[in-house]
Amino acid sequence: MEFAYSPRCQDYLDKVRAFMDAHVYPNEATYAAQLAANGLERWQPLPIIEELKEKAKAAGLWNLFLPESEDGAGLSNLDYAPLSEEMGRVLWSSEVFNCSAPDTGNMEVLARYGTAEQKERWMKPLLAGEIRSAFLMTEPDVASSDATNISCSITRDGDEYVINGRKWWSSGAGDPRCKIYILMGKNDPDAVRHQQQSMILVPAGTPGITVVRPLNVFGYDDAPHGHMEVRLDNVRVPASNMLLGEGRGFEIAQGRLGPGRIHHCMRTIGAAERALELMVRRAMSRVAFGKRIADQSVWHHRIARARIDIESCRLLTLKAAWMMDTVGNKVAQKEIAMIKVAAPAMALKVIDDAIQVFGGAGVSQDTPLASAWAGIRTLRLADGPDEVHERAIARMEMKRLSNEG
C-alpha cells in the first residue's frame, strides 16, 4: 500500500490548483454578475466561461478526465480523481477544463461505444469544447432508478427510429450550445429484463422535441446550465444513431455511470473540503459570549468529525478509482456504489455545519455553501437513490458470504 499521489498526479494537481488560484476563485463574483446581468434570459452561456476555457487549454488542463483513450490527457481514474476534487471547490469550474457533467459521461460513451462516424460528428466537437450535450434518462412518471420502469419508447420505422416520451432532469438541455442528446428508452418491452433498453443519439432541435421548462433545485434554477424537462413527440432520427445496438442500453448505462459517479464523488469531496475551510476560518473570526467560536468544544467536535469524514470518504473514493483502473468498472461496482452513497451524505453534513457557523450568511448568496448543499442533495437521488445502491451493496455482501459458505 502507498498513500501518496503519483508524481504525475501531483504535478497536474499543482497546476490545477495554480489555475484555480489565478483564474477561478477571482472570477466567482464575475460569474455571478454575468449571470445576474442576463435578467430573465438566464439560459445563455457566460463569457467568463469561454474565456477561461481558452486559458485552461493553453495551460494543458483540458479533457483531463478520459482514461484509456488517446483523446484525453491519458490520466487513470486514480490520477484524475484529485483533480476532479479540486474542481469541485467551485462547481462551475469543471466546464472550464472541459471536465463537466454530463459531457464527460457522454464523451466516454461515444469513445467506448460510438462508431467512427458518431465520434467524428459529436465526440470531436465535444472534446474541443465547441458544443455541449445532454443525457436524457430520468422520467417524471416512474421510479426510473429501476431501469425496467423506463417508459420512453424507441420504435424502428424503416431507416429511422421514432421516439416518444417525457424526460426530466436533462441537465444542460436548455443551453443553446447543447447540440446532442444521448437518450435512454425502451425498444422492446418484451425482451428479457435488461435487454429492453437502448441508447440513441438525438440531435437537439429535431422536430418533435419540446424543452418544456427548467426544474429548480431548492430554489436554484442552476442557470445557465440548468435541468430541463423535455418532451419527445414522434421524434425521428436515422437508424444509424443507435448506440452499440438495440437492447444494449442497460449495458452502456452501467459502463457510463461508474466514471460519472467517481467524478461526482470527488467534486463532492472538494466541495466539502472547501466548506470545512470556510467553517474553520469563520469559527476563528467570530466571538460570541466572550469567546471565539473556534474555542467552543461543540465546534471542535464538528470540525474534527468533518476532517475525519472527508478524509475517510476521500480514501474510499480513491480506492474505488484504483479498482476501476486495476480490475475494471464491473468488478468495482460495490466500491462505486459505496462512494455513491457515502460522499453526498458526508458532504451534506459538513456543509450544513458550515452553514450553521455562518448564520444567515450561510443560507444566503454570500457564501457558496447553500448552493453547494442543494446541488449535492440531488446526488442522493440522481443516478439511483441511496436506497437502490444500499440494496445492491447489501446483496453483494450476502452473495459473498453465501459463497464462502
User: Which of the ranges 53-61, 183-191, 203-211, 330-338 carries the binding residues for a copy of itself, by CB under 8 A?
Assistant: 330-338
Subset of residues 102 to 141 that bind a copy of itself, contact rule: CB under 8 A: 138, 140
Does residue 387 touch a copy of itself according to CB under 8 A?
A: yes
Taking alpha carbons only, the member of 309, 312, 296, 314 closest to residue 356 is: 296
327 part of the interface to a copy of itself, by CB under 8 A: no
Neighbours of 19 (CB within 10 A): 21
Binding a copy of itself (rule: CB under 8 A), the pick from 21, 176, 205, 220 is 220
Which position among 245, 284, 328, 331 is part of the footprint of a copy of itself (CB under 8 A)?
284
DSSP secondary structure letter of residue 5: P
Diameter over CA atoms, the chain: 78
Which residue of 250, 362, 368, 383 would you call a contact of a copy of itself, by CB under 8 A?
Answer: 362
Our finding on whether 393 is near a copy of itself (CB under 8 A) is: yes
The answer to whether 187 touches 156, Cβ cutoff 8 Å, is yes
- Determine contact, residues 72/308, Cβ cutoff 8 Å: no
- Residue 297 binds to a copy of itself (criterion: CB under 8 A): yes
- Binding to a copy of itself (CB under 8 A): which residues in 223-262? none
Which stretch, 18-26, 114-122, 240-248, 308-316, contacts a copy of itself (CB under 8 A)?
A: 308-316
Q: Is 12 exposed, middle or buried (0-12, 13-18, 19+ CB in 10 A)?
A: buried
The answer to whether residue 312 forms part of the interface with a copy of itself (CB under 8 A) is yes
Cα separations in angstroms, 43 against 182, 219, 224, 284: 20, 16, 4, 39
Provide the terminal-to-terminal Cα distance of the chain, rounded to the nearest Å: 29
Q: Cβ of 255: how many Cβ atoms within 10 Å?
A: 18
CB atoms within 10 A of CB 1: 2
Report if residue 380 touches a copy of itself, rule: CB under 8 A: yes
277 is a site residue for a copy of itself (CB under 8 A): yes
CA distances from 399 to 76, 161, 394, 396 (A): 30, 40, 9, 5
Q: Smallest distance from the beta carbon of 347 to a copy of itself, in angstroms?
A: 14
Nearest approach, Cβ of residue 128 and a copy of itself (Å): 31
Cis? peptide before 224, omega within 30° of 0: yes
Interaction between residue 145 and a copy of itself (CB under 8 A)? yes
Site for a copy of itself in 72-91 (CB under 8 A): 78
For residue 226 the three cell numbers come to: 440548468
In the complex with a copy of itself, which residue's Cβ is closer, 6 or 206?
6
- Out of 22, 37, 315, 331, point to the residue binding a copy of itself (CB under 8 A): 315
Please identify, using beta-carbon distances, which residue of 30 and 76 lies nearer to a copy of itself. 76
Contacts with a copy of itself by CB under 8 A: the residue count is: 95
Among 8, 33, 68, 281, which residue interacts with a copy of itself (rule: CB under 8 A)? 281
Of residues 13-52, those binding a copy of itself (CB under 8 A):
39-40
By CB under 8 A, name the one of 43, 169, 181, 250 that touches a copy of itself: 169
Residue type, 137: M
Among 33, 106, 146, 196, binds a copy of itself (CB under 8 A): 146
CB of 262 to a copy of itself, least distance (A): 14
Residue 54 binds to a copy of itself (criterion: CB under 8 A)? no
Q: Does 402 bind a copy of itself (CB under 8 A)?
A: yes
In 373-384, which positions are buried (b, 16+ CB within 10 angstroms) versus exposed (e)? Answer: bbbbbbbbebbb
Q: Residue from 31, 113, 168, 181 that binds a copy of itself (CB under 8 A)?
A: 168
Among 20, 183, 342, 347, binds a copy of itself (CB under 8 A): 342
Scanning residues 189 to 218, which ones bind a copy of itself (CB under 8 A)? 215-218
d(CA 201, CA 184): 9
Phi-psi region of 391 (alpha: psi -120 to 50; beta: other; left: phi over 0): alpha
Instruction: State the Cα–Cα distance between residues 359 and 337, nearest whole angstrom.
Output: 34
